[in-house]
Amino acid sequence: MDNTIFYIQMLDHRLTVQFVKSLLKVDAHMKALKTLCKRKAVNHREGDALVLKWVRQVSSKAVQILKKYVAEISKVRNDNDFSTPQSGTRKRRLNPESLSQTVIAVFTIGSLVLVCPSTDVKDVIPILHTIMTSPNQDPQTKGLSGLTISMKEKAPSLYIQSWVTMGKICLVDDKLAKRYIPLFIQELERSDSAAVRNNIMITMTDFCVRYTALVDCYIPKVSNSLRDSCEVVRRQTFVLLSRLLQRDYVKWKGVLFLRFLLTLVDDSQKIRRLADYLFGNILKVKAPLLAYNSFVEVIFVLNDCRAHAGHCESHGSAQTTTQLFSIRGNDAKSRAQRMHIYVSLLKQMAPEQLLATSAKLCAEVLAAAADGLLNIDDVTGQSVLQVNVYSMLSVIMFQILGVVEDALRILCCKEMRLQAGRNAETAEVEDEGGDGGVAAIQAAKGRAVTQASKKNLIQHAVPIFIELKRLLESKNSPLTGCLMECLRVLLKDYKNEIEDILVADKQLQRELIYDMHKYEAAKTKSKVTEAVTEIRRSDGFRSPAGHAGDGSSSVYARVAEKLGTGGKVASAVADVAAKVTVRSVLKEVNRDAGTPPLRSMSLPKVKSGAADATSGAAGRDRHSDVLESLRKRQSFEDLDE
């Protein structure tokens, strides 16, 4: 017991007289002192009284240090304001050690509040409020502390620590928390200090656990930190909100899910890895239908498109916020980022969900565009003089085109098309390997999904594509090529049935068959070219002069042996060989041919300006006749004509 008293006195002395020099040691001293007081006391009530006694002593000492520093910094400011260069007096400066000691004192107050929530901090709250809001023009607070300078600039470490301590005080005082939570949110949005934003983010997470109902309405503003300029703040926000979501303090509703999607394409590789794990493992188990239910809305949100009334953001956010959480644009980077998000969501869906998503895309995006619900028409005639309105309408058109283009790209991506087929094949393999009952059910389910997919394509998707193609062609839209590419990919597994599927549009049928043949020929030719390059690189092939034909023939024979002797492969090999032969022959023919001298070339003769008047008049007549004949000539731009 004597040793316990000795240690209590020693720790109390270090906290009140010497004052610990490191923030890391303050909490350790607090916990040790509380534990020793509990062990020294006979009962629980005596232990609480003993803890409260030394807490009041340490708190009183810390408050004195804080008040002294605030008074000194105000006095220094006043003295420097009245000093002039002519007086020869030097400006007073504060001792850096006093600032460090004040920061430790403020931190100690916060630790005391957590150790003993009944600590009296009425004298501290006005001072902390003044530091947090300085310079403050409120006459009440200004008269209270006399602080009229910006602590953010003069003492940034004290300013940052004041927010942390105020957060700890609010955790044990619900009435104070109700008053200060809006102030924390305001500073989170406006502060230019990454340290302040990071500390407030941690504080808001604690508030969400302690006061869930109070903080719930501020979650959209808290989630704005997912797009913070500082990587540390973004990663901290992602980790903290993910923990809250897993513990059900925050729900996957509203804009939170849509904003979390942007972390999949964050600039930081660490954040991208965390996001992949969250969406691929945790969210897939915790909310398996979330990706399916929100998929179409995601397309509109990422393109920042509000043209469809059913897919506007439920929470009317400011325009700057919606642009912050969108990836609109037709450049390669924006398209790749959007497709990465779409593919990540498609990987979470079951085959039947993929089929339903395909039907929703056709009905809510493509059919809406074909029926005019999504207006892709040019509206330049509606507001010629109102420049702002015209630019806004142009932006809306651009966003709608982005939505339609994304829908077409999603429909023809491999994650959308192959999942059902793969599921059926896997189930059939499992059925052959054993465990008959479950495998047979899975195989039947896979075949049913495949048949339903084909039926949906023929009965619903193709008619929508036909109508949309006619509309796009009438508007000369650049999306026509994207639509044809999507159709080619969707129908390439039904080559023998294209005539029956596209019986309503013979022209589209012929165009699609031609595009398929052209694509396959280009693909085969690309394979042949790559094979030739690979063989030449592996053999170190160099064709000597005069023996190019023999070397090339051996190479192409090996290519034909490698890729097969099919008609398309043979044709592609022959085309590549012919091009190489023609190129080598032309090079051989032009090897010794020199450039003809300049004097041998026929040059136009220019008449001198000293011509007589009669010749000039005759020349002008001839010129006028030539111009007149040129005007009457017909221009034939088409090669067939």
pLDDT in tens, 46-78: 877 888 888 888 888 888 888 888 888 877 665
For residue 118, what pLDDT is reported?
86
3-state secondary structure of 394: helix
For residue 234, what pLDDT is reported?
95
For residue 286, what pLDDT is reported?
86
Q: Share the mean pLDDT of the chain.
A: 75
Report, in angstroms and rounded to the nearest whole number, the Rg of the chain calculated over CA atoms. Answer: 39
Higher pLDDT, 223 or 147: 223
User: Cα 400 to chain center, whole Å?
Assistant: 19
Please give the average per-residue pLDDT across 584-593, as a whole number: 66
Residues 556-584 pLDDT 10s: 666 666 666 556 666 666 676 677 676 77
Tell whether the model's pLDDT for residue 45 goes beyond 70.
Answer: yes
Higher pLDDT, 207 or 150: 207
CA–CA dist 218, 239 (Å, integer):
18
Residues 258-292 pLDDT 10s: 899 999 999 999 999 999 999 988 888 888 889 99
For residue 184, what pLDDT is reported?
96
pLDDT band of residue 187 (cuts 50, 70, 90) is very high
Q: Is 349 exposed, middle or buried (0-12, 13-18, 19+ CB in 10 A)?
A: buried
Which range (65-79, 332-346, 530-544) has the least confidence?
A: 530-544
Please give the average per-residue pLDDT across 534-543, as a whole number: 62
CA–CA dist 281, 285 (Å, integer):
7
Residues 136-179 pLDDT 10s: 545 444 444 445 677 888 889 999 999 999 999 999 999 999 99
CA–CA dist 579, 420 (Å, integer):
43
The percentage of the chain sitting over the pLDDT mark of 90, rounded to a whole number, equals: 21
Tell whether the model's pLDDT for residue 356 goes beyond 60.
Answer: yes
Which DSSP symbol is given to 312? S
For residue 625, what pLDDT is reported?
65
DSSP 44-64: HHHHHHHHHHHHHHHHHHHHH
CA–CA dist 153, 157 (Å, integer):
10
For residue 378, what pLDDT is reported?
35
CA–CA dist 471, 371 (Å, integer):
9
CA–CA dist 415, 346 (Å, integer):
7
User: Quick count: other Cβ atoms within 10 Å of Cβ 508?
Assistant: 18
For residue 552, what pLDDT is reported?
57
Most confident range (mean pLDDT) of 59-63, 541-545, 616-620 is: 59-63
Which range (101-110, 239-248, 426-435) has the least confidence?
A: 426-435
Query: Cβ distance 296 to 365 under 8 Å?
Result: yes
Most confident range (mean pLDDT) of 15-29, 272-286, 323-337, 461-475 is: 272-286
Tell whether the model's pLDDT for residue 467 goes beyond 70.
Answer: yes
Higher pLDDT, 93 or 252: 252
Residues 369-422 pLDDT 10s: 888 777 655 332 232 223 332 333 344 445 677 888 888 888 888 888 644 444
Please give the average per-residue pLDDT across 472-494, as a whole number: 82
Higher pLDDT, 431 or 358: 358
3-state DSSP of 92-138? CCCCHHHHHHHHHHHHHHHHHHHHCCCCCCCCHHHHHHHHHHCCCCC
Q: Which amino acid is at 238?
A: F
For residue 385, what pLDDT is reported?
25
pLDDT band of residue 539 (cuts 50, 70, 90) is low
pLDDT band of residue 465 (cuts 50, 70, 90) is confident
Q: Which amino acid is at 369?
A: A
What is the domain partition of the chain in residue ranges? Answer: 1-80+95-137+150-172, 350-381+388-420+444-537
List phi, psi (to 5°) of 347: -65, -20
For residue 8, what pLDDT is reported?
55
For residue 633, what pLDDT is reported?
52
Q: Please confirm whether the linkage preceding 156 is cis (ω < 30° from 0).
A: no
